[in-house]
Structure 1
Amino acid sequence: MALANTGSEAETVEQSSHPEIEQHSTKVLMLGALGVVYGDIGTSPIYAFREALRASAGGNVAERGDILGVLSLIIWSLTIIVTIKYIMFVLRADNRGEGGVLSLMALARGSFPTRSAVILGIGIVGASLFFGDAVITPAISVLSAVEGMNVVTPAFQPYVVPLTLVILAILFSVQRFGTGGVALIFGPITAVWFLAIGLSGINQIIDDPEILLAISPHYIVAFLINSPDVAFVTIGAIFLAVTGAEALYADLGHFGRKPIVLAWLAIVFPCLLLNYVGQGAFVLANGGVVGHPFFEMNEGWTLLPMVVLATAATVIASQAVISGAFSLTRQAVQLNMLPRLEILHTSERQSGQIYMPRVNLLLALVVMLLVVGFGESSRLASAYGISVTGNMLVTTVLLYVIMTRIWKWQLWLAASLTALFLFIDVGFFASNIVKVFEGGWASLAVAFTVVLAMWTWVRGSRYLFDKTRRNEIPLDFLAGNLLKKKPQLVSGTAVFLTSDPLSAPTALMHSLKHYKVLHEQNVILSVVTAPQPIVPDSERVKMETLNDLFMRVTLTFGYMEQPNIPRALAICRKQGWKFDIMTTSFFLSRRSLKASPNSGMPVWQDKLFIGLARTAADATEYFQIPTGRVVEIGTQVAI
């Protein structure tokens, strides 16, 4: 089965022949990118500097060297990881305009066929770690914003968790209506957010310009040398400042490289730096008392509006991660890494706007359990970094494959740059992995569950395919025999869906066995997924005539597309087949699976695979076939 992309014609803006239209479109896309791409990293100042300073100080009072060292680490982390690694290099590794860890995996697999299984395994780990991030982000973001009310009045403390749960419940419940309308205000609100946090920081910097010395990296060296044991733990908290960097690449297909780069360099990066430096100046001016500097440095009438704005910004950041989880799940389904899941389209214009009820429900349950279980954003911070750093490690490894296999870089250059990125990524990962027992187990548990599900589905699907193929008759042999000795023929066309176009479909064999008739025209149809996001109509259909009775048709979809068989078959008219949906019957095999000790997998994995198969969405709905034209034939298979 083939998977495709939530695609978008991101690069068409950059190729426009009308400069005024291009400039206008780029500005609109930049505004949209602020809300979707930068929502996560844009809300990090609420908790990142505070947590890093607490880790370095070992309490609530930090010394001057700690403050400047932590601030310098944040500045250079944003510069090297986001500006250099992602903006300069990773964003160039697009798969026909699309980004994300599974797009990168598909690109790498196509260039490295001898190691495709290894690349697939790396991709599964990367996708699983993203889901670990997807459940932590809404929990910590919304919880940390609501905690800002404690700065307004400590009496609000008992209501923080309940209000957080209410906000999250509303957020997940509105997903079924789609994000199209809400997305129109995401960009402007996030733009106001960045300007607000930038101005908030400037006010503090003006009072203490000496804080700008933190730009010098020698404070990092001094901080690491003076207290290496504390610095190691602090680095794990520092990473909170760059969480969300993966979104730059994941949302590449929705906005294109140019708007994402311009939004970062012109708005996001400067405002983040100003706010972090402003927080440092505020803590220095208050004798090193850590507290909650993000909210506390907004005095008087600005405090309450900042809390409200922070809550809105965190909801937007959470929405972006939820939408990303939907898109990533659809890619995984299309690439046959997960069973078919129900996908509802919430927009008539944009195929990328989708809603997946089961995924939404699971995310909501896990996120709310995390909020109730941890109770404070500080505790959740320990659970945050592991999945994100692991995801970035996967991106670096796959990027090396792209550099050497596709970009054809010299080995020494690719290895040198990769070594730099790996040194930083491994450092962050090592400093976060020690927090497993402090909360890191939560994101790892989510990632492990997804890895187990994906591995079981890929492995079980292969065993099932091999087993059924051994028992099937070659299609060419059957077609030849039926042409020589024709059974009773009935008018119309029969389309038999199969994953193995070389063998006679089970539905065809059972139809002959029980009905003892054959249609005048029989099409053996298989659907495959291309290692690219979108497949043009000119490459959609491949037809092969076997004889007067049988024809083999292969439909190819990109991994970001939603397969629509009737619409794709209409293309066949240009190639000579007068397809008419009203005279066509679609025959599908519905397999009832039973565990077998001889499957090659442990019994527990057999049962897990069967359980996953039972959750699969109906093929008729998934392939968008009219229900009135479908005949399902059941078979029982032991695996």
Structure 2
Amino acid sequence: MEKQKRQLFLGSLITLGIVYGDIGTSPLYVMKALLADLGSPKYLTREYLIGCLSLVFWTLMLMTTIKYVLIALKADNHGEGGIFALYALVRHQKKWLIVPALIGGAALLADGTLTPAVTVTSAIEGLKGVAFGQNVPIASQNSVIIVTFVILLVLFVIQRFGTSLIGKGFGPVMFIWFSFLAIVGLINLASDPGMLVALSPHYGLKLLFSPENKVGIFILGSVFLATTGAEALYSDMGHVGKRNIYLTWPFVCTALILNYFGQGAYLSTHLAQIKAQTNFENPFYAVLNPDWYLFGVVLATLAAIIASQALITGSFTLVQEAVGLKLLPRMKVEHPSLSRGQIYISAVNWLLCLTTTIVLFYFKTSEHMEAAYGLAITLTMLMTTLLLFEYLRSKEKPIRAVLVLSCFSVIELIFLAASLSKFMHGGYVTVFITLLILGLMFIWFFGNRLRERYADRSEMINL
């Protein structure tokens, strides 16, 4: 019994380190993006904050908790999850299902090039202008970019040596991170517990059509950033097991919600001070007690690095699955440690490094990167919904399948439309990367089909 408890605890700790890096770092930029939608601090109101918190809360509930944790995790292919594993379950039903699998896979790989850049940049920006004695090491945005580039470069370089030793520290760090998010959020929420009215969906729906909302329904493009890690949660099921995700998600979800609400409460109680400013500061860092500030930035940076590491290794796994389904050409797969579960694909690693570096130097600020971020993963989620519909229908659950399709496809189409509104502000980069990967997959898959048909015909003629 004691051994089982120990295994359960270790399994949960590992899950925190592997699965939740992406969604766990969303408090660094979600509220900042929602404030940016206002255009100026003078327009900020308590009603706007409550509406934003309501939209974020219900997005987490509907998209992450209900769709992925309660529904998608049940669609596993011998314990493996993710869009390619889901496609493998339904590919013999209808030939056209290859299309959503290709689009979703390409978009998910494109997202892997954006996440490291946006998360690490958001974390390092917290150090900009902070004095250490008489010196200010990171005095400008150019310094932020250089430090971010060095961190990411080191991260990509160490992949070939294996990350098992570093990986052992991921779980404890992420446990501290989520505990920190919850504590900071709870302390700030205590100053204005009335913000909890945002738990009602009424306030979120009201904000969508309120004149206080300067961008209308397109605000959902920023709201969606709160759930971008949900697809990774499903994809990583094979690494940690669904039971560990079921056990850890309530803790993670609670920590995220408390932090969002704590940021909202802080902004609400400092409205007059904020309205007098010319620009918004990142509310994640604004809520930190000065005594905790440096610790918070260091912890945020570690969490961002872990999120980046998870996306890199997740990309290796995704490419390996795509090769197995003949969606991509064969690549050399290495096992840098004694664990056969840990893989390294050199070509993928350096392509990710190059693309992430280009994204970093092209956008230069996390605010600009956020415009490109989210669009790719919205496409993946929509394609996953289509495949889930076919999976549930094949399990003789037609009513449930129709409900899943009608509910989530409508929500995701609205999110997609909202994300497309940022196309000219950076979303075009996401679309370009997705189309490049999609083109490669399309040519390789259908080229293989033609080659196989030609080989079969030649064989028949020879007979």
Structure with the bigger RCO (C-alpha within 8 Å, sep 6+) is: 2
Contact 1:74 1:241 in 2 (8 A): yes
Deviation at 1:413, TM superposition (A): 3.1
Encode CA deviations 1:95-140: one digit per residue, 9 max, x unaligned.
Answer: 1111011000010113x1xx22x11121111110001110010010
Residue 129 of structure 1: SS of its match in structure 2?
Answer: helix
Encode CA deviations 1:461-503: one digit per residue, 9 max, x unaligned.
Answer: 222333344445889x6xxxxxxxxxxxxxxxxxxxxxxxxxx
Alpha-carbon distance in 2 for matches of 1:79, 1:472: 55
Contact 2:107 2:434 in 1 (8 A): yes
Name the amino acid aligned to 1:375. K
Counterpart of 1:394? 383
Deviation at 1:347, TM superposition (A): 2.5
Counterpart of 2:121? 143
% identical equivalent positions: 37
Alpha-carbon distance in 2 for matches of 1:360, 1:171: 10
Contact 1:78 1:242 in 2 (8 A): yes
Residue 128 of structure 2: SS of its match in structure 1?
Answer: helix
Alpha-carbon distance in 1 for matches of 2:411, 2:449: 38
Alpha-carbon distance in 2 for matches of 1:230, 1:205: 27
Encode CA deviations 1:161-207: one digit per residue, 9 max, x unaligned.
Answer: 00000000000000001121111000000100011111111111112
Counterpart of 2:350? 361
Counterpart of 2:266? 282
Counterpart of 1:425? 412
Contact 1:338 1:458 in 2 (8 A): yes
Q: How does 1:89-488 map to 2 (within 5 A)?
A: 89-110=71-92, 112=93, 115-116=94-95, 118-150=96-128, 152-153=130-131, 156-157=139-140, 158-227=142-211, 230-265=215-250, 267-287=251-271, 289=274, 290-348=280-338, 350-405=339-394, 407-409=395-397, 411-472=398-459
Alpha-carbon distance in 2 for matches of 1:373, 1:323: 24
Q: Using a 3 Å threshold, how does the CA distance of structure 1 residues 223 and 473 change in structure 2: closer, same or farther?
A: closer
Contact 1:239 1:385 in 2 (8 A): yes
Alpha-carbon distance in 2 for matches of 1:398, 1:306: 40
Q: Which has the higher helix share?
A: 2
Q: Highest Rg: 1 or 2?
A: 1
Contact 1:26 1:258 in 2 (8 A): no
Contact 2:218 2:417 in 1 (8 A): no
Name the amino acid aligned to 2:293. L
Alpha-carbon distance in 2 for matches of 1:241, 1:67: 15
Contact 1:49 1:241 in 2 (8 A): no
Q: Which of residues 37, 41, 45 is equivalent to 1:60?
A: 41
Deviation at 1:149, TM superposition (A): 0.6
Contact 2:209 2:217 in 1 (8 A): no
Moved more, 324-333 or 212-221: 212-221
Alpha-carbon distance in 1 for matches of 2:91, 2:230: 24
Contact 1:189 1:313 in 2 (8 A): yes
Counterpart of 1:571? none
Name the amino acid aligned to 1:46. L
Name the amino acid aligned to 1:308. V
Encode CA deviations 1:493-540: one digit per residue, 9 max, x unaligned.
Answer: xxxxxxxxxxxxxxxxxxxxxxxxxxxxxxxxxxxxxxxxxxxxxxxx
Q: Structure 1 regions of 5+ residues with no counterpart?
A: 1-18, 478-639
Alpha-carbon distance in 1 for matches of 2:79, 2:2: 23
Alpha-carbon distance in 2 for matches of 1:340, 1:376: 36
Q: Structure 2 length normalisation: TM-score?
A: 0.93
Residue 139 of structure 2: SS of its match in structure 1?
Answer: helix
Q: Structure 1 length normalisation: TM-score?
A: 0.68
Deviation at 1:231, TM superposition (A): 3.0
Alpha-carbon distance in 2 for matches of 1:188, 1:463: 50
Alpha-carbon distance in 2 for matches of 1:470, 1:424: 46
Q: How does 1:443-592 map to 2 (within 5 A)?
A: 443-472=430-459
Contact 1:382 1:435 in 2 (8 A): yes
Q: Which has the higher strand share?
A: 1
Contact 1:53 1:70 in 2 (8 A): no
Contact 1:133 1:387 in 2 (8 A): yes
